[in-house]
Amino acid sequence: MKERDKRRMAGFRMKLKEVRLEKQMTQHDLASRCDVTRSKISELESNEAANLTLTTLFELAEGLGVKPKDLLDF
């Protein structure tokens, strides 16, 4: 993974967790509201080598009740 991609994923990881916690949701809560497993959410929040697909981005945004661009605003 390129360094710029690592930086982008680091920003996304922090933003995803920040929004989830602002909504007072656990990873399990979020997983139950969208079509993403709790383990994938955990991976996205903690693993710098995790890959994010567009479909997963849309699912997470829907589960959090935000627009996809809100998760990319970091």
| CATH numbers and ranges of domains, the chain | 3-71 (1.10.260.40)
What pLDDT score was predicted for residue 21?
98
CB 30 within 8 A of CB 37: no
Asked if pLDDT for residue 1 goes beyond 90, the answer is no
Q: Residue 48: its pLDDT value, please?
A: 82
Q: Please give the Cα distance from 39 to 22 (Å, whole number).
A: 20
Q: Which pLDDT score is estimated for 49?
A: 82
Residue identified by tokens 């996205």 is 44
The closest of 62, 66, 31 to 45, measured between CA atoms, is 31
Q: For residues 10 and 74, what is the distance between their CA atoms, to the nearest angstrom? A: 10
pTM for the predicted model, two decimal places:
0.92
Residue range 20-68, pLDDT digits in tens: 999 999 999 999 999 999 999 999 999 988 999 999 999 999 999 999 9
